[in-house]
Structure 1
Amino acid sequence: MELVRQSLHSRRRGLIGLLASGALLAGAVAASPAQAAPAAPAAPVVKNDTGQAGGRTHNDNLRSPLAVKQDAKRAKALEKRVKGDKSAQGKVAKLGKGQYVELEREGTDRIFAVIVEFGDKQYTGGAGAGAPAGTFTGPPKDGSTTDVTGPLHNQIPAPDRTVDNSTLWQADYSRAHYQDMYFNRMAKYYETQSSGRYSVDGDVTEWVKVPFNEALYGRNYCGGIVCATSKALVRDALAVWVDAQLKSGKTMAEVTAYLKTFDIQDRYDIDGDGNFNEPDGVIDHFQIVHAGGDEAAGDPNQGTDAIWSHRWSANLQSGGPYGVGVDIGSNGGLVSSSDVPNNPTGVWVYDYTVQPENGGLGVFAHEFGHDLGLPDLYDTSGNTGGAENNTAFWTLMSSGANIGDGGPDGIGDAPTDLGAYELFQLGWLQPQGKQGPFYDVAYAGKRSSHTIGSNVPATKKAQALFTVLPDKQVPLELGAPFAGSKMYWSTQGDELNTTMTHAATPGALSAKVNYQIETGWDYAYLEANVGGTWTPVATNRSTTSNPNSQNQGQGITGSTAGQWVDLTGTLPAGTTQVRFRYWTDVAETQPGLRIDNVTLNGTLIGTAESDEGWTFNGFVTTTGTEVQEFFNAYIAENRQYDGYDASLKTAYNFGFPTKQDWVETYPYQNGLLISYWDGSQTDNNVGDHPGKGLVLPVDAHPEFTHWSNGTLMRNRILSYDSTFGLERTDAITLHNPADGTTGTVASKPAQPVFDDTKTWWFGSDQHGATGSHPGRYQPGWYSVDVPKTGTTIRVVSSSMQGNSLNVLVAPK
């Protein structure tokens, strides 16, 4: 879940300062598309650490290896779908032998939710490397709180509504409240988004109490916002619940039978039969609601010991259908304790999401969106003071989860709609009965007219327009050869089976290799031809481990971390040929295998510098510089103030230094939102790659507006007028959170035409370049740098209410 109060609570927690001080006044304007000024190249920028190395992460969507693989398969299939490939038009796509992916979420899923409060015990042990004994005792080192008790539920202080209109609060957070949240309010949200295709039901427990305080599960000891001990709350809360059920008189058989009612799906198709609607022994959708506030909302009571809302997998124990997980009712694994009951049920939990006691509909729907496979679309480095992009309030999977209705009782309870990209990911733009599909496809270089209904689902018109562009070509730097000017390369891609073959005799073979191969899924092999049969040869780099039934024997997988290493093996008696082979499955592309200086019995037989008798079937020689191609497209959607998008009228801003919990509201501009879908990117972290992202809105009015000291207004303010259309934009006046002074973004002329030969992204302005511009917000974080394909998208006309836009796609 995205950090909500990015200016005020950062001071409480001692995080990076998020807004530069200085008075706000008139907006200085940078070059606009009409001026056709060349985009300044982005200056070097300090990259924000969004990785998970060493357990450190600034992300709240922590995907398991199974989820990563599933997401890669879905991405490949959806690219095929939008191009019209018949193999990807059904509810389930077959991508290869035993490789399936579900493309349409339909029906009613069951959620099992446990609501949990905390005891007062402090965990005195450690949690492995980097977390010695004592890590979880006492208050956090950053001084964000001195409270080391609980919390119990219903202890969140009532906000003072004279100075706080942003905090959600009620006197009693009961089981009935969460039953309403999940199975009434969130169910209706997803029923609306899916046009009635999808909903949820299930059950919520009564409050259970784990023995330890929240510090064990929420403390940021690993250097990120979510650490591994957060998973232990899943195990401990379920163990306490199972124990309470048994003590109430239920038998283990009754408890187990009840848990199995939440296992109706094989969500990862573990058995590889393409049937996702069968039990697999694991709870389908598990949720934790914890007492107390959310670290993402700047909880002032538990500080950085508060748990940050997130999605992850509880891989604390070996065993179960997925190989790892938690046997519900047991207490084994990381930070285990005899203070937690131990009554294993044999039913497992793996995926989970966690939300706070006073979470609004937005955070519940957002985290569940992750559980359905949706990514975060905001820049996740912004959670700890990094960058911000322009997705902002346009989608539930960004700041749209945190938005309110403009009333006095808090923000985060009136989320905006999902965007067209997200609806497409879940299959909710596909045909229903005889109607649909609910998206149109256009192609660069071809003229076509389209009518786009509003983004509110259940329209009879197309809800989105995808304009497919020529594949994007991106340089690929493989690194230098081990020796000389060339090396051998397997090439990269999905469903490869590439080889390089040479005449050979029995004996010792060695080579230098450098590889990055999808661990446990894709493999390279050294093979010998004996009597006309190719046989895998054991090497010092190979393995017989076969976790996903992909290893054909003595496979080489994983990574050498960019280093050249020795490969050695012995070709058996009777060998007449030797070959290197690279085999990949249907998704998740890695750079593959590089080979140099191949020797056989001490004789050099492969340097890649000349024709040395190798026969290539897919392998190539390379200097290390290649070109790779990626799918890319524009996505156009009609955003109006209807349905959940009524909240676009009430985007918020924290602008009052003396009332740090007070928000003011302003409207986002209705109209045609055009985003660039770039298959060469895996996230929207513009701090790492300015101007580039997986799916980012094109700002129809990319002029910068500054505070008087030259610092930029933040992205989620300036993104408000990103839409194309036939009306002037609204002027807005807001306050600077640094000093409370006001400033205005002026009304701008209508912008009916998107022309991708013009410039919609700028890496610098008159105050500085990206990475050196005054203040936190950098020019290169705004809008998106689109390819110059000569494609135009024009809003030709609009219905009176704006719920229907006529759009022309044409070459320039």
Structure 2
Amino acid sequence: MSKLTKYQGLIVSTLLLACSSMAALAAPQTGTPADGGLINEQQVLYWLIKRGEVAADASDVEKQAAVDAFVSRGRHTTFKPAAIEVKAEQLRVKRAAQKNTKSAQYAAANNKVLADQDITKTVKVLAVLVDFPDLPHDANQLKAGDSDMYYSSYPAAHYQQLLFSQNGFAGPSNQTLQSAYQYFQAVSGNSFYFTGEVRDWVTADHDAAYYGGNNSNDDDNAVPELVKEAVTKAVVGMTDAELDSYDIEDPFDIDGDGNYDEADGIIDHVMLFHSSIGEEAGGGVLADDAIWSHRFYVDSNTNGYVIPGRGGLKVFGYTVQPIDAAAGVCTHEFGHDLGLPDEYDTTNSGDGSPVGAWSLMSGGSWTGSIAGAQPSGFSPYAKSFLQQKYKGKWVNEQHISLANLTSSGTAVKLNHAVNSDAINQLSIALPAENIAFKAPLTGKYQYYSGQGDMMNNAMSFNVSLPLDTPLALSFQAHWDIEDDYDYVQVLVDSVAIEGNYTSSTNAVYPAVKNFISGKSSNISTAAGLDAWVNMNFDLSAYAGRDVQISVVYKTDEAVGDYGMAIDDIQLINQGSAFYIDGAEADGMATLSGFSRIEDSLPGKARRYIVQLRSHQGVDAGLVYDNYEPGVLLWLENFNQNDNNVSDHSGKSLIGVVDADQNLIGAQRTDVQIRDAAFSLYPQSSYVGDSHLAAESLFDDNRDYSAPLKQQAGMILPELGLTMQITEQASDSSTATLEFALSDSSELPPVSLVAEMKVQASGADVSFNVIVSGGSDYSYAWSFGENNATSSDTAPSYTYSASGDYIVSVLVTDAAGNTVTATDTIRVVIQPLAAFTLNQTDLTVALTNMSKQGFGNLTYLWDFGDSSSSTVENPSHTYNTAGTYTITLVTTDSIGNEVTANQVITVSSPIITATTSTTTTDNGSSGGSLGWLTILMLSLFGFLRKRV
């Protein structure tokens, strides 16, 4: 099993402990996204002309303007993923890292290699076909020539073959085309099984425009509603056992047990096909009332829609495709279902990212003799993601250490990317590079919130406040925070307080009060280019108390900006500062996700990835886009969150280094990088490209930034690294590469980076820390309770009580460099329900002995006689004697519930009478007469009252 991959650094910057409440409170999004990577401009123009919206003899400029106007919604859509999905992926990767660390240690101790390549994964897809009253599937108004995937009819059997055939399926000209099953088998080295069943056509309740018509935001109106209708109708006639067979995964780990291969009450994968051409390809006769292909969610605010009458089974995630879908759109959208992001520039406002047709998650979904029928392989970023998530044989990677390279060169053999049985990917980790940030307001240091998704970062300090008032907290800050979705709060003893620039109403999270969001530059009093704002908070209500003051930054599942920087913290009493923290001294504040920085941020992982791409296997379709085979060099850079090079040209999450820096006219990026591969062989001819000579040498001292077409270029670090192709098969199935590092190159020092790993089981918590950079480390752990510490590499600690604890580890290397990793962990010791009792006749007094649990405990007593109580230590009197079971249900503040029972027998009190006896010659008869007299007197008194 592999060690922690560089990919994991993108997903997990900190473990989120409190995101579920944000997901529950979030307002649902309206409309649905449009996958801009699926735009087919040629088909859009075809339908614009056919519908008479553009004249066939219009100028090229007029035609392009019409196309741009029609597809504009695919160039501005910004939709967030479901919070539960983002959170689950963060936790899955963190668990995988912990598991990998332990497995690596076990393997080393036992001299074993864990065989990831032997692991297979099977998914089962429920495919649903839906048409509309105004556009039946068997009267779809399509004619030959309307689509490259035109058939005279589209029965369920067609989609069954398109998706799941093991032998391919018949194309429009009866040629054999590749199925989605075959594609995923090929790209995974036969380790991923794409299976399922297609249900027959059902008809929606409304006409097509009801679902696909665009709303005021230019988004489709009601596709999730269509999914709910279609699935509900399609499963009619299926037995519960049949339907349950589509729930074999728990991708969000809903029950929290770390097992992702179990049922979770949600259908795993739903693929919807509708009876129209997709809006991304012109929309057919429906025009912009057609549905745009995408992947999204049903009822994300409740994590899915319950299918009526099916035992609570839900529909949640889905993909939607058009009637004429080819394998490319199906596999691209399912790539999203597997967790992959788009690799094109999702703004669609420029020339495009440097990925093009080299990856399915960009333009590769359209390659082939029939557009989209032969989708290309995945980028190495995507392959590494899938390998880490599912194991198997998605990639067979060899790591090359930059530190071990010399000027004499190191030869490495490489096989083409479609061969998973041999080394088909090379990885070269690069030194991290600090990222420039805004300078502190004063001094050398400032506090910084961090940036990322699903964060709950905090900085805090404890202070004793004087009795005198007024009391105030002040600090300087600047921020750029997504409005309402993300926010900062200042807390005193966990309560958010009002400040001079806090807001009281949050449109997304109504329960959130006294928060900071938006941009500091929008405040009129902001000072300087960085828009510093003087923040003030009244603390007079806390005078004379020992308090904890915290600044907390919470983010949602996407679209985050840089966050907040803080400097010059002061506590002021009657106009004089009695506490000052300018971030200049380490240790003044406890940092959990926040950091103390200068004017730069620590750089994230970067690496070169090398592939050999041919025109074989899943890459056979590249030849139809005139993409040249050869050695493809990629830069993966986790300092970038996306491939939106229209915002940051030359820098992307993943992109190819174009070997041929000669421009091909004014073409877009996908054309410019057709010749990106390094090769020993000259390029084939291409219209507008006069530079066809082979380029077999990569040298990072050269400029690969494409200065005249910057969105097609990559800005690279200059390290003195070269890569020379020395051998290459004529079909590019194999190659030998020589890597060298110039002797004059002095590598920049590798930053000391530490990432904490935590595994908790009740009160017992195990810790580890992954460190890169430096050597010969020493450790100083602080567990956040009772001054408990450790100097072990991987210590364990048993906590005395449930709670949230701030844990830190200071790592020092041999050169004296230090780095601190901090995490907030939640310890949950299950509550224990117990009680004792003291009984007197019909009355029982109960003493509650419950303990542990998280937060405050609540109690529910059932006395077994239809009476109950929520008092901690109740007393109860039974009406009648008998045997009863007393039950105590103890619940903690996060819902953990335990029960204790005791059986008790209660009796009525025994009354002992005191009698007066008169002794006579007749024995005891006088006593009997006395009792009779008393009885008669009592009866007489009763009768008088009645009268």
Whether TM exceeds 0.5 here: the answer is: yes
The answer for the alignment partner of 2:379 in structure 1 is 419
> Which one of 653, 676, 690 corresponds to residue 694 of structure 1?
653
For residues 468 and 183 of structure 1, the distance between their equivalents in structure 2, rounded to whole angstroms, comes to: 38
Alignment of 1:99-498 (within 5 A): 106-119=120-133, 149-150=134-135, 152-160=137-145, 167-184=148-165, 185-224=179-218, 226-227=219-220, 229-241=222-234, 245=236, 256-315=240-299, 323-329=302-308, 346-382=312-348, 386-404=350-368, 406=369, 410-427=370-387, 438-447=396-405, 448-459=410-421, 461-477=422-438, 489-492=447-450, 498=459
Q: Residue type of the partner of 1:370? A: H
For 1:5, which of 35, 40, 48 is the aligned residue?
Answer: 40
Deviation at 1:745, TM superposition (A): 1.6
The answer to whether the Cα contact below 8 Å between 1:214 and 1:306 also exists between their aligned partners in 2 is yes
1:157-205 deviations in Å (ceiling 9; x for gaps):
2224xxx7x6211111111111112222212211111112211222221
Say if 1:669 and 1:729, in contact at 8 Å, map to a contact too: yes
| Contact persistence 2:568–2:582 (CA under 8 A) | no
Q: Per-residue displacement from partner, 1:284-331 (whole Å, max 9, x unpaired)? A: 111111111111122332111111110111126x5xxxx3322224xx
On the 8 A contact 1:220/1:227 being kept in 2, the answer is yes
> Residue 792 in 1 paired to residue 685 in 2?
no
Task: Find the counterpart in structure 1 of residue 917 from structure 2.
Answer: none
Structure 2: distance between partners of 1:103 and 1:501 = 51
Contact 2:412 2:738 survives alignment (8 Å): yes
- Work out whether residues 498 and 583 of structure 1, in 8 Å CA contact, stay in contact via their aligned partners in 2: no
Amino acid in the other structure paired with 2:85: A
- Checking the alignment, whether the CA contact within 8 Å between 1:442 and 1:466 is kept in structure 2 is yes
- RMSD of equivalent CA atoms: 4.4
SS across alignment from 1:237: helix
**Structure 2 contact 122–193 (Cα < 8 Å) conserved:** yes
Percent identity between the two aligned chains: 24
Aligned mate of 1:640, from 582, 597, 614 = 614
Report the residue type matching 1:693 in the other structure: S
Amino acid of the structure 1 residue aligned with 2:431 = P
Q: Residue 101 of structure 2 is aligned with which of 86, 99, 106?
A: 86
Query: What letter matches 1:201 in structure 2?
Result: T
- Aligned to 1:809, which of 739, 750, 764? 739
1:498-537 matched pairs, under 5 angstroms = 498-505=459-466, 509-511=472-474, 535-537=493-495
- Residues 1:65 and 2:79 aligned together: no
The verdict on how the C-alpha distance between 1:505 and 1:798 changes in structure 2, with shifts beyond 3 A counting, is same
Query: For the structure 1 residues 442 and 86, does the alpha-carbon distance in structure 2 shift closer, same or farther, using more than 3 Å as the test?
Result: farther
Letter in 1 for 2:617: G
Does structure 1 conserve the Cα–Cα contact (< 8 Å) formed by 2:344 and 2:361? yes
Cα distance in 2, alignment partners of residues 291 and 364 from structure 1: 15
Structure 1 position 437, deviation (Å): 7.4
Letter in 1 for 2:396: F
Cα distance change of structure 1 residues 787 and 203 upon mapping to structure 2, 3 Å threshold:
same
Structure 2 distance, partners of 1:287, 1:510, is: 54
Matched AA of 1:159: A
The answer to whether the Cα contact below 8 Å between 2:458 and 2:553 also exists between their aligned partners in 1 is: yes
**Match for residue 689 of structure 2 among 729, 745, 761:** 745
Partner of 1:703: 662
CA deviation after TM superposition for structure 1 residue 275, in Å: 1.2
What SS does the aligned partner of 2:144 have?
Answer: coil
- 1:604 Cα deviation from its structure 2 partner: 5.5
How many Å apart are 1:497 and its aligned residue? 6.2
Q: 1:263 to 1:556 in 2, by over 3 A?
A: farther
Cα offsets for 1:638-685 (capped at 9, x unmatched): 10111111111112xxxxxxxxxxxxxxx3111111111111112212
More helix by share: 2
**Structure 1 letter corresponding to 2:295:** R
- The one-letter code matched in structure 2 to 1:452 is L
Select between 293-302 and 587-596 the one with higher mean Cα deviation. 587-596
* Cα distance between partner residues in 2 of 1:68 and 1:363: 23
Cα distance in 2 for residues equivalent to 1:9 and 1:89 = 52
1:476–1:628 contact (8 Å) kept in structure 2: no
Of structures 1 and 2, the one with the larger relative CO (CA 8 A, separation 6+) is 1
Structure 1 pair 489–643 and aligned structure 2 pair: CA distance change class (3 A):
same
Question: For each residue in 1:328-383, what CA deviation from the matched residue of structure 2 results, as whole angstroms up to 9, or x when unmatched?
Answer: 24xxxxxxxxxxxxx6752211111100111001111110011001111122233x
| Map 1:726-765 → 2, pairs under 5 A | 726-733=680-687, 744-764=688-708
Cα distance in structure 1, aligned partners of 2:692 and 2:190? 38
Q: Distance in 2 between matches of 1:610 and 1:118?
A: 63
The answer as to whether partners of 1:502 and 1:613 remain within 8 angstroms in 2 is no
Normalised TM-score (structure 1): 0.68
1:716/1:263 CA distance change after superposition, 3 Å: same
Structure 1 unaligned regions, length at least 5: 23-47, 91-101, 120-148, 330-342, 529-534, 544-552, 652-666, 707-711, 734-743, 765-778
Q: 1:580: which partner in 2?
A: 550
Flag the 1:158–1:620 CA change in 2: closer, same or farther, 3 A: closer
Alpha-carbon deviations, 1:556-588, whole Å to 9, x = none? 988454466665566657633544365889999
- Aligned partner letter, 1:810: A
- State the one-letter code of the partner of 2:642: D
1:732 alignment partner, SS class: coil
Q: Secondary structure at the match of 1:301?
A: helix
- CA–CA separation in structure 2 for the residues paired with 1:436 and 1:8: 33
Task: Tell me if the contact between 1:524 and 1:580 (Cα under 8 Å) persists in the aligned partners.
Answer: no
Q: Does 1:616 align with 2:589?
A: yes
- Cα 1:505–1:272 change in 2 (3 A) is farther
Deviation at 1:263, TM superposition (A): 1.4
Report SS of the residue matched to 2:383: helix
Per-residue deviation, residues 381-440 of structure 1 (Å, max 9, x unmatched): 33xx64323322211111211122x3xxx42111112232211110179976xx997101
> What is the aligned partner in structure 2 of residue 767 from structure 1?
none
- Alignment length (residue pairs): 635
State the alpha-carbon separation in 2 of the partners of residues 615 and 103 from structure 1: 49
Q: Deviations over 1:458-499 (max 9, x none)?
A: 32x211111111113222248x86xx7899524527896644
**AA at the equivalent of 2:412:** H
Larger Rg: 2
With over 3 angstroms needed to count, the CA separation of the structure-2 counterparts of 1:171 and 1:104, relative to structure 1, is farther
